[in-house]
Amino acid sequence: MPAQTQQLSAEQFLLVTLIVQVAVSAVLSTMLVRFWWFRRILLTEKRDWPERLVFAASLGIPLVAGVAVRILLNFAPADLMLPGSFLAGLLAGPYAGAIVGAAVGGTATIGGEWISLPFAVGCGFAGGGLRELCPKEAIWHFSPLFFTDLHRYVWKLVRRSQIDWVVILLAAPIGLEILRQAIGHRFGVARLFYLSANTPWLWGLVILATVLCVAVPIKIWNSARIEHRLQEQEKLLMAARVEALASQINPHFLFNTLTSISALIRSQPETARVLIVKLSGLLRRLLRSQEHFVTLREELEAIDEYLDIEAMRFGPRLRIEKQIDPASLEVVVPSMLLQPIVENSIKHGLEPKLGEGRITIRSTRKDGHAIIDVIDDGVGVSPDDASRVKGTGIGLRNVNERLRVIYGSNYQLELDSLPGGGTCARIIIPELVELPRKTA
């Protein structure tokens, strides 16, 4: 015996229709905000005509499709004529609202609903008029949870005789829905589509659904605006931190180099003079290049100039070896990344050592990462002291912090050392062969 199907009553069917209608508006607004060109339009309040037309087309095309689906398939929740036209005017101005209203109302007029065209255009102009009158930021404060703050708005009205703009924005779609209901009752659903309600509470739900179909997209789009602004602020904060960390390196390097030169002025004045000339050349190079990122080739050229200075101090005691993979030369690295490491190797590894010392700079590419090693055969330190040195020395702490800020907490300076066995400082960073912007 087949199971009996239970038919929905008129009230239940209307309630389901209203819920689905709000869901359709939420899905449509979520889909639109995923396109970068639509988000870009939302981020600017002063839009030129091409942007307004793009906004009108982006919103108008799915709204027209919704009216067509309602007429052809008798699917009422797809029709967002009133909230869509009003929303277009509210966010893009009266003319954009009128364009969307004309497109949506014209589609309904083709189906014989000849009142739809002037009504939809009027909704677009109503939203645009409110946009011209109210503060632009007040529009984004219109939330689906408006009823939670209604008591505050009423208290402000009673105590200060001041009407909040949110109340006016709330009253506009309510008034338009009441007008649609009145016109629909007068001329019939064949001339202007509306959802008929038989009881006051259902009539109130119809009005509430219209308000939500306006407030929900605004809430979704405003969340996207806030998220974008937070991302921009995060980028600016990271750029400021990188700038601050980079500004620490040059003074630190300059102080240590001048200290080395001052020690040679009395005993080896000619060597001190040559060092000053080389230092001035290196400083000119640093002043010419203010980029936060350079290729490894450029970074190694800067290291060569620094090592020329150190070679003048140490003479034949200092030997430099390079094992550079040619494929890694175009990998992008933070500028002045290697100089503090090389300086630390010389100062704490080789200088206390008796006899000659060797520094090896090695680079390679593996599994989407660039690996750069700075190895010395100096006095070395214990593994526990290696972690302490990385966290306390200005240069190494700076390098470690820059790696964490730029690439994330998984990327840090690695120190491997043994007493009397030298030290290996390793940097592993993601491969990047295109220079980022200066502020990155």
Q: What is the pLDDT of residues 324-344, one digit of tens each?
A: 999 999 998 888 788 888 888
CA-closest candidate to residue 418, choices 380, 391, 390? 380
For 319-353, give one letter per residue: b (16+ CB within 10 A) or e.
Answer: eeeeeeeeebeebbbbbbbbbbbbbbbbbbbbbeb
CA-closest candidate to residue 144, choices 219, 232, 236? 219
Alpha carbon separation from 410 to 362, 364, 413, 429 (Å, rounded): 22, 19, 10, 10
When mean pLDDT is compared across 95-109, 247-261, 300-314, 389-403, the lowest value belongs to: 247-261
169 within 8 A of 215, measured Cβ to Cβ: no
Alpha carbon separation from 162 to 147, 155, 166, 168, 326 (Å, rounded): 18, 9, 12, 11, 72
pLDDT for 6: 62
CA-closest candidate to residue 403, choices 384, 430, 383, 376? 430
Cβ-based neighbours of 198, under 8 Å, separated by 6 or more: 10, 11
The residue with greater pLDDT, 414 or 386, is 414
Instruction: For residue 407, name the pLDDT band (cuts at 50, 70, 90).
Output: confident
For residue 248, pLDDT beyond 80: no
pLDDT for 346: 85
When mean pLDDT is compared across 5-14, 149-158, 179-188, the lowest value belongs to: 149-158
For residue 388, pLDDT beyond 90: no
The residue with greater pLDDT, 90 or 421, is 90
CA-closest candidate to residue 395, choices 360, 344, 346? 344
Instruction: For residue 187, name the pLDDT band (cuts at 50, 70, 90).
Output: very high
* pTM given for the model: 0.61
Instruction: For residue 39, name the pLDDT band (cuts at 50, 70, 90).
Output: confident
CA-closest candidate to residue 299, choices 274, 330, 268, 323? 330
CB count in 10 Å sphere of residue 150: 12
pLDDT for 403: 86
Beta bridge partners of 358: 319
Alpha carbon separation from 148 to 56, 73, 256 (Å, rounded): 32, 37, 63
Mean pLDDT of 176-188: 93
For residue 307, pLDDT beyond 90: no
In the block, which residue shows the tokens 């779609």?
173
Mean pLDDT of 419-432: 88
pLDDT for 323: 93
pLDDT for 439: 42
What is the pLDDT of the chain when averaged over all its residues? 83
Mean pLDDT of 204-221: 93
pLDDT for 386: 60
Exposed (0-12), middle (13-18) or buried (19+): which is 193, by Cβ within 10 Å? buried
Beta bridge partners of 320: 359
For residue 227, pLDDT beyond 90: no
The residue with greater pLDDT, 64 or 197, is 64
Instruction: For residue 374, name the pLDDT band (cuts at 50, 70, 90).
Output: very high
Mean pLDDT of 339-365: 86
Cβ-based neighbours of 273, under 8 Å, separated by 6 or more: none
Q: Say what percent of the chain tops pLDDT 90.
A: 38
Q: Which residues in the chain are classed under CATH 3.30.565.10?
A: 263-430
For residue 175, pLDDT beyond 90: yes
Mean pLDDT of 304-311: 80
For residue 438, pLDDT beyond 50: no
pLDDT for 401: 82
The residue with greater pLDDT, 156 or 133, is 133
Instruction: For residue 177, name the pLDDT band (cuts at 50, 70, 90).
Output: very high
For residue 288, pLDDT beyond 60: no
The residue with greater pLDDT, 70 or 231, is 70
Phi, psi at 91, each rounded to 5°: -100, -25
Q: Say what percent of the chain tops pLDDT 70.
A: 84
d(CA 78, CA 95): 24
Architecture (CATH level 2) of domain 263-430: 2-Layer Sandwich (3.30)
SS3 358: strand
The residue with greater pLDDT, 211 or 159, is 211
pLDDT for 162: 59
Looking from the CA of 162 toward its CB, the CA atoms found within 13 Å total: 6
Mean pLDDT of 391-400: 72
